Structure 1
Amino acid sequence: MKLRTWLTFVVPIVILVSSLAIMFIGRYQISHVSQHWKDVYALSSAQDIQSKIDSEAEKAKVIVETLLKNEDIVATFAEKDRDKLIELIMPYHEMYAKEFGLSQIHFHTPDVKSFLRTSNLQKYGDDLSSFRSDILEVKRTQKGVFATSIGVAGPQIRYVAPMIYNGEYIGSVEANVNLTEGFAKKLKGEAIVRVFFDEKGNKIDLMAKSKPELDDFTNLFDIDKLLKGEILSFVKGDYVYDAVPIKNFEGNVYAGVFQRVNVKEVVDAEKSSTIIQLVVSIAISIALAILSFIIGMRLKNNIAKLTEKMSLVANGDLSVSCDMQGKDEISEICKIMGDVTSSLRDATKNVVDQSNSIEILSGDLKLAADNLAHSAEGFKVSFGQVTESAQNASTSLNEATNSVQEVAMSATNIATAAQELSENANMMAQFAKNSSDAVSSIIQSIHQTKQKANETLKVVSSVADSAKNIKEIVDTINSISEQTNLLALNAAIEAARAGEAGRGFAVVADEIRKLAEESKVATGKIADILNGIQTGVEKADKATNETVNAISNVEKESEKVGKSLDEILKQITTVTNMVESLAASSQELSASAEEMSSALTTATNSIAEIVD
C-alpha cells in the first residue's frame, strides 16, 4: 500500500476508531466502577443495620449487668419483696427508657413465672414456660442469652441473665430495648421495621416507620427469601435498598428491618461524566480525523506532483522545473530535483555544442580534400591516403559524437533515478529511526507506569488493612464509651439517693456521662468516615487492578509495533543496496564516456597531422 494512501485514509480511520474505542472503554469503566460502588454501599448499609441491632442488644446487656451489680436489688428480689423492688428498680427504668429506649425490665421466678414487669406493674404471676424458651435456657445453663421478641409497640431485643444470691439460683432478669420508630430513625436514609409474626407464631402485619408519611417500599423485596434468613441488598433507580431479618430465640424470622438510601447524586454524576466524555471524545475524534485527512491530502497532492515531474525527467525531458511551495521534506526534494535537472541540462548543452563544432570541422576537412583532388589530379594517388584518413577521421568523429550523446543521455537518466532512490531511502531511514526511537521510549514509559501501578496496588491494600484495624479500635472505644455512660448514670442514681452529701459526686458523674456521650458521637463519625474510606479503597483497588491489566496489553501491542518497525528497516536496507548498485552503474557509464572522449582526442590529432 502506498504511503499517501496510508496518510489520507488509513491513519484518519485508525485515529477515529481508536478514539471511539477509548470512549467506549472509558464509559464501561465508569459504569462498572459506579455499579461496584453501589453494590459495596448496599452491602455496607446492610452491615450497618446489623451493627445497629447488635448495638441495641449490647445496651440491653449493659442494663442487666448494671442491675446485677446492685446488691440491694438482688437481695430484695431474693426476699421476693415486690414493693421494695419496685421502689429500687423504677428509677432505672425511667432513666434507661429515656437514654436507651428501654421498654421494660422483667424479673422471673425460678419456676419461670413473671414476678415484676416495669411496663405493667399490675401484671405478674403468669406462667412463661410455654413460650419463653430463652428463660428456660438461662435456667438450664445459668448463663446470659440474647433474644428478640414482639412487644406491644413492636419488635424488641432483650438480654436475659440468671440472678445468683449466696451461690443459689433465685431466678432471672431481662431488659428489653425497642426496635421501633426510635431505632428506625437511627438508620441511614429511610427505614421501616416490619413484623410478620407474633410471639406465638400467628401471622400479623405491624410496621414502625422512621417518618409517618413514608410510603411502604418493603414490597419491593423478596419477602420469602427474607423469611428464610437471607440479607437482601439491591440498587433500583436512585436508591440503594437493604433488608435484614430479625430472628427469635428459636432462630425463626418474625420481623425485618428495611432501609433505602438516596444516591441520586452519584447517579447524576455518572450520567454527567458519561455525557461529557462522549461529547469530548467525539469532538477530539472528528478534529483529529479532519486534521489527519487535510495533512494526508496535502501530502498526497505534493507526492503526485513530485512523481509526475520525476517521470518526465526519467523519460529524458530535462526542461522540467519544480517550483513547489512549502517548507516540508517533499518540497525540499522537489527543489533539489530542479537544481539537478538544471545542471544536467547545462552539461548536455555543452556536449551538444562541442559535437556540433567537431562536425563542422569535419565538413571543412572533407571540402578541402575534394578541392585538392580536383586541383592535383597527378597527386591523386599520393593524396588519396590523406583523403581517406580525413574521411575516416570525419566518420570516427561522427560516431564518437553520437556515442557521447547516448552515453550522456543514459548517464542523466541513471543519475536522476539514483538521486530519487537515494532521497527516498534517506527519508524512509530517518522516519523509521524516529519511529523506532519513539516506540522504545513508549515501551520504557509503559514499563515504568506498570511498576508504579503495582506499587500503588500494594499501598491501597496496606491502607485497606489499616482501615480495618482502625475500625476495630473505634468499636472498642465505642463500647467503652457506652459502659462509661452507664456507670455515670448509675453513679448519678446513687448520688441522688445520698442526698445533699452526694451532690458534688452527682455533678462529676454528670460530666463523665456527657464526656462519654461526646466520645460516642465522635466514634460514630469516625466509623462513618472509615466506612467511606474503606469503600474508596476497595474501589481504588479494583480500578488499579484494571489499570495494570490495560498497561500489560498496551505493552504487548507496543512490542508488536517494534517488530513491525524492524521489518521496515530491513526493507530500507534493501532499497539502499539498490541505490548502491545504480551508483556503480553510473560509474561504469562515466568510464565509457571518458574512453569516448579519448577517442575524440585521437581523431583530432589525426586531423591535425593531415593538415600539417
Structure 2
Amino acid sequence: MKFSTKVLALGTVISLVGLSVLTFIQYRTISQEVENTIESTIELASSQVAEVIHSELQGKRNLANYLSELLASADSQDVKGLIEQPSLRSVFVTAGIGYENDGSIIHNDSGWTAPSNWDSRSRPWYQDAKRNGSQSLTKPYVDEGTGAVLISISQPIYGNGGFIGASFFDVDLTSLATLISAVELEYATVFVVDGDGTVIAHPNSKLNGQNMSTFTNRSRIIENTELVTVQGKEYYLDFHPTKVGNWSVGILLPYEETHLPLEEMKKTVFILFLAILTLSFVIYVGAMKVLMRPLSALNEAMKNVASGDGDLTKRLDTNTDQEFKELAISFNGFVSIIQELIQGTKQTATQITEYSNVAANSAKDSEGLLHTQQQEVEQLATAMNEMSTTSSLVAQNAQSAAESAQTADTAAGEGSSIVLETTRAIQNLGDQLDDSMRAVKDLGNSIGDIESIVSVINEIADQTNLLALNAAIEAARAGESGRGFAVVADEVRTLAQRTQDSTTEIRSMIDKLQQGSQSVTKTMNTSHSLAMSTVEQAQTANHALEDIRSAISSITEMNIQIASAAEEQSLVAEEINNNTVSIKELSDKVADKASHTSEQVNKQSEHIEEQNKQLNQFIV
C-alpha cells in the first residue's frame, strides 16, 4: 500500500470516528431532551387534568355539603322541596336523604319508587357516611337504568344532638370525559381511574367501569412513567394522583408518534454525516496530490540515478523543499561514498585475482603429494592393525587362563571352608548327641521315679477304697442316722476308684515312655558313631583340597605373568595402531582440505572474475 494511500486512509478514519462520536453524542443529547420533554409534558397535562377534575367535583361537593346542612334542620316537606329544585337536578342525577330511625328515604327521582322492604341503612353510601362521620365518595358504579358511570356523594346528617341520617347526591361522570377530552395533548389518551384500576372516565365511554388492563396491560396504578406494549405497539403510561379520593389521571401516549421528529432528525443527521464524510475524503485526496508532488519528483530523480548502467557520477537536485533537500543531500553523499568504495574494490579485485592464480597452482601440487603420503600411511595402518589384533588375542587367552585358575582356586578355597564348617557342625552334632543321650538317660531315671510314685498312689487308693467300704458297712448298720455318712463314703469310694483308673493309665504311658527312651538311646548311639566317622573323612578331604589350592596358585602366578606380558605388548601395539590411524585420519583430512582448498580457490577465481565483470558495469 502506498504511503499516500495510508495517510489518506488514516485521515478518513479519523474523520469517520470524529463525526461518528459527534453524531452519537448529539443524537443521545437530543434523545434525552425529547424524553425529558415528553415526561414534563405528560406531567403538566396530567396535573392540569387532575386540577380540572378536582375543581369540577369540589364545587359539587361544596353544594352537597351546603344542602346537607339545610336538610338537617328541615322537615320532610321542606326536604322534598329542597331536593326537587330544578337547579339541583341539573347538577346531580339524583339526590335524597335516608333516615336512621326507620330506614326510609326521600329522593327526587320520579322514575323510581323504593320497594316496601327497602332500607337506606343497608346502602353503602349510608354506611360510609355514618362510619366516617364526614362527607364520603363511593366507588364508581354503572347505573342499571342508563348505563352511565356514577358516583355518590354522601354526608352524615346530625340533629337534636345526634345522628339522624345521611344524604346522598349521585353525580354522572360523563361530564368528566368531556373535560379530559378537551386537554390539548397530541396523540395522547387521557383517562381517570380509581385506586384499584377501575376506569372512571374515558373518551371511549364503553370502557367506563372496566379495569384499565383492557387497554394498558396494567391492572394497577404505577408510580413512574414507563413503556407498555398494547396490541404490539409501545406507549408511554403515566399516572398522576388527584385530590379526589384515591383517583388518578392516566395518560397513554404512543411512543412512535412522539418520536417522529427524532426519527426525521436522525435521517437528516445521517445524510449530513455522509455528505461531510464524502467532502472530507475529496479534500484529503486533493491535498495529498498537492503535498506529494515534491516526493514524486524526488522518486523520479532516484530512478534516474539508479538507471544508466550504474552511473555513480549522477547527483540529485538539491533545489527543493527543506525536508526533501536534506534527503537529496544525504543521498548524494551516500552515492559519493559508494563511488569511492567501487573504485577501491576494483583495484583490490585485480590483486586478488593474481594471488588466487598462484594459490591455485600451489594447491594442485600439494594435493598430489598428499595423495602419495596417504597411500603409504594406509599400508602402515593395515599392518599395525593386524599385529595389534594378534597381541590382543594372546593377552585375552592368557587372561582367560588366569581367570579360570583363579576361579578354580576360589572354588577350592570355598570347598575347604565348607569342609571345615561341616567338620565343626558334625562335631557339634556329636556333642549334642552326647548331651541328648545323657538327657534321655535322666529321663529314664525320672520315669522310674514316677512309676514308684504311681505305685504309692495306687496303694493309697486301694487303702482309701477299703476304708470307704468299711464306712459304708458301718453306715448301713447305723440305719437312718448314718445315711448321710453312707453318701460321703460312697463318694470317697468313687474317687478312690477313679484314682486307681488314672494310675493304671499313667503306668501304661510310663511303659511306653520307657520303651521310646530306650529306642532313642540306641538311635543316638548309632548317629554318634556315624558322626565321628564323617569327621575323619571330612578332615581327609580338607587335606586334599589344600594340595589342590597350592597347585592352582602356582598355575595362576604363571598365567598372570604371561597375561601381563601379552597385555603390555597389546597395549604398545594398540598405541602404535592408534597413532597410525590418527596419522592416516590426519592425512585424509589434510588431503580433503587440500582438495577443498583447491576447489575453493578455483571458485574464488570464478567469483572474482564475476565480481570484476559487475564492477566494470559501474561508471566511476
Same fold (TM over 0.5): no
TM-score by length of 1: 0.40
TM-score by length of 2: 0.40
Higher Rg: 2
